[in-house]
Amino acid sequence: GSGLVFAGSVCRLYVEPNPQSALLMHIGQFLNNLAGPFAMSIGPPLSAAWFAPRERTFSTSVVGAVNYGFMVITFSVGPALVPAGAGNVC
């Protein structure tokens, strides 16, 4: 999963206003999206390996909530990292 995110990030590093750059950005985003199921499906295997059968439902739900909770945090923190007058980069 992390290899796909890395490859997708490398593809999106080259930013120029031309069709090749747009193609690389699309390929990078596609590779990044392929890694999503690996990251979001860790709950059940983790619960099966570390928790007793009676605790697995709770631990799986906690992992799912934490995954979505961190997504909320990243969408909240991201705009704070960009200066107010940055404007449109493209």
Low-confidence ranges of the chain (pLDDT < 50): none
Instruction: Give the angle subtended at the CA of 80 by the CAs of 66 and 24, to the nearest 5°.
Output: 80
Q: Name the one residue in this structure whose structure tokens are 């796909």.
A: 4
Tokens of 52: 């007793």
Identify residue 36 by its one-letter amino acid code: G
Q: Determine the pLDDT at residue 49.
A: 92
Report yes or no on whether pTM surpasses 0.85: no
Q: Determine the pLDDT at residue 31.
A: 87
Interatomic CA distance for residues 59 and 54, integer angstroms: 10
Q: Determine the pLDDT at residue 58.
A: 93
- Kindly state the helix (H) or strand (E) to which residue 53 belongs, with its residue range: none
Tokens of 17: 């206003």
- Farthest-apart Cα atoms in the chain, separation: 56
